[in-house]
């Protein structure tokens, strides 16, 4: 009797990293429709991962340091209890090589990724000019996972009854990851953009977590045309707002990636310290501008690009 398929998918990264893997997650599920599929991710994203339709189980890697033997044993036992027959490592770091060894190395489950002597090694190095999502597609192709049309993301939605939203609005995403201030377009620039949009009868709505409240307050101190939703939305509500927005303008951060994936007209503002060709938000109506540095992008330049996207998309 054939052993039931048990598939482990590894992706630890931040929100934007998970969003860029939506297509890969979808393709893995379609390739293994009857399998039990688990996602290994970080504690901060387990709630979000449980909303996804592609996984039956979410496992957590607390990312213990090398000295924390107890947590490494806990992680090993968790993975061994799941007993995967195949692993798709979409992380591909040295840490995952350790997990590969803990699960038996070449004698363990089939493994798609970067681990030495694994059964389905990924493409390396990436082809010049390749986006990260194309890199994942190449990896899955080598593991005999067929390409698919884009997934249905209707699972990520929520009512907006508690919000009194204007009819015409643009979402602003002024947040960035801690320690990566080089990715932040400054509040003054967002305030100028909001003032310009107001002249076109378009309201600006700034979104983020409670940690972004001071940044959004700084924007509102410079422009009275901004609605502050810092800390007031969960991810499904944020997705619903993105679908209704005329456009989305944001730094290179997770919610901007989410807006692009949902098909919202999305303009990502990129730093010169990243490669947009590799990592820009991906979506059918997504574009990016790169500043060298990011604040070299003027509000006029951003407005012009955004206006063109809004005009094209009605």
Residue range 19-78, pLDDT digits in tens? 999 999 999 999 999 999 999 999 999 999 999 999 999 999 998 877 888 888 999 999
With a cut of 70, which residues of the chain have pLDDT below it? 1-2, 313-314
Q: In this structure, are 292 and 213 located in the same domain?
A: yes
Four-residue CA torsion sign, 246, 263, 258, 231: positive
Which domain-ending residue is among 123, 142, 161? 142
Residues spanned by the domain of 244: 169-312
Q: In this structure, are 173 and 83 located in the same domain?
A: no
Total tally of structural domains belonging to the chain? 2
pLDDT of residue 126: 96
**Is 153 a member of any domain?**
no
Q: In this structure, are 30 and 103 located in the same domain?
A: yes
Residue range 28-44, pLDDT digits in tens? 999 999 999 999 999 99
Q: For residue 50, which phi and psi values (nearest 5 degrees)? A: -70, -15
Which domain-ending residue is among 82, 107, 142? 142
d(CA 309, CA 197): 14
* CB-CB contact of 271 with 295 (8 Å): no
Q: In this structure, are 50 and 10 located in the same domain?
A: yes
Q: In this structure, are 179 and 259 located in the same domain?
A: yes
Cα 230-233-236 angle, rounded to 5 deg: 145
pLDDT of residue 314: 55
pLDDT of residue 131: 98
Strands 247-251 and 169-173: parallel
Q: In this structure, are 179 and 80 located in the same domain?
A: no
- SS3 letters across the chain: CCCCCEEEEECCCCHHHHHHCHHHHHHHHHHCCCCEEEEEECHHHHHHHHHCCCCCEEEECCCCCCCCHHHHHHHHHHHHHHCCCEEEECCCCHHHHHHHHHCCHHHCCEEEECCCCCCEECCCCCCCCCCHHHHHHHHHHHCCCCCCCCCCCCCCCCCCCCCCCCCCEEEEECCCCCCCHHHCCCHHHHHHHHHHHHCCCCEEEEEECHHHHHHHHHHHHHCCCEEEEECCCCHHHHHHHHHHCCEEEEECCHHHHHHHHCCCCEEEEECCCCCHHHHCCCCCCEEEEECCCHHHCCHHHHHHHHHHHHHHCC
The CATH number linked to 90 is 3.40.50.2000
pLDDT of residue 2: 67
Q: In this structure, are 205 and 302 located in the same domain?
A: yes
Q: For residue 8, which phi and psi values (nearest 5 degrees)? A: -110, 125
**Is 124 a member of any domain?**
yes
Residue with tokens 């399998």: 35
Q: In this structure, are 72 and 201 located in the same domain?
A: no
pLDDT of residue 82: 97
Q: In this structure, are 112 and 216 located in the same domain?
A: no
């Amino acid at each position: 009797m054939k052993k039931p398929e048990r598939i482990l998918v590894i992706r630890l990264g931040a929100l934007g990293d998970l969003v860029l893997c939506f297509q890969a997650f979808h393709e893995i599920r379609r390739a293994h429709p009857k399998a039990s599929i688990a996602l290994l991710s970080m504690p901060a994203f387990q709630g979000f991962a449980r909303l996804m339709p592609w996984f039956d189980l979410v496992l957590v890697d607390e990312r213990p340091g090398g000295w924390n033997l107890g947590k490494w044993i806990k992680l090993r036992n968790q993975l061994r209890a799941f007993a995967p027959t195949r692993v798709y490592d979409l992380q591909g770091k040295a840490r995952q090589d350790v997990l590969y060894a803990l699960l038996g190395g070449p004698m363990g489950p089939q493994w798609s990724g970067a681990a030495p002597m694994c059964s389905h090694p990924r493409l390396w190095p990436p082809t010049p000019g390749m986006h990260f999502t194309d890199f994942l597609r190449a990896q899955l192709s080598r593991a005999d996972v067929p390409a698919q049309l884009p997934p249905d993301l209707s699972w990520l939605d929520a009512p907006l009854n508690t919000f009194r939203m204007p009819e015409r609005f643009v979402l602003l995403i002024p947040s960035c990851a801690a320690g990566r201030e080089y990715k932040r377009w400054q509040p003054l620039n967002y305030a100028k953009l909001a003032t310009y949009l107001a002249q076109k009868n378009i309201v600006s709505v700034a979104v983020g977590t409670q940690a972004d409240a001071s940044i959004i307050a700084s924007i509102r101190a410079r422009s009275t045309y901004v609605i502050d939703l810092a800390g007031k939305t969960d991810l499904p509500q944020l997705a619903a707002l993105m679908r209704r927005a005329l456009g989305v303008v944001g730094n290179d951060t997770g919610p901007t990636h989410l807006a692009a994936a949902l098909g919202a007209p999305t303009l990502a503002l990129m730093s010169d310290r990243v490669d947009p060709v590799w990592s820009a938000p991906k979506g059918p109506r997504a574009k990016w501008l790169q500043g060298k540095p990011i604040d070299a992008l003027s509000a006029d330049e951003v407005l012009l690009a955004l206006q063109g996207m809004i005009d094209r998309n009605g």
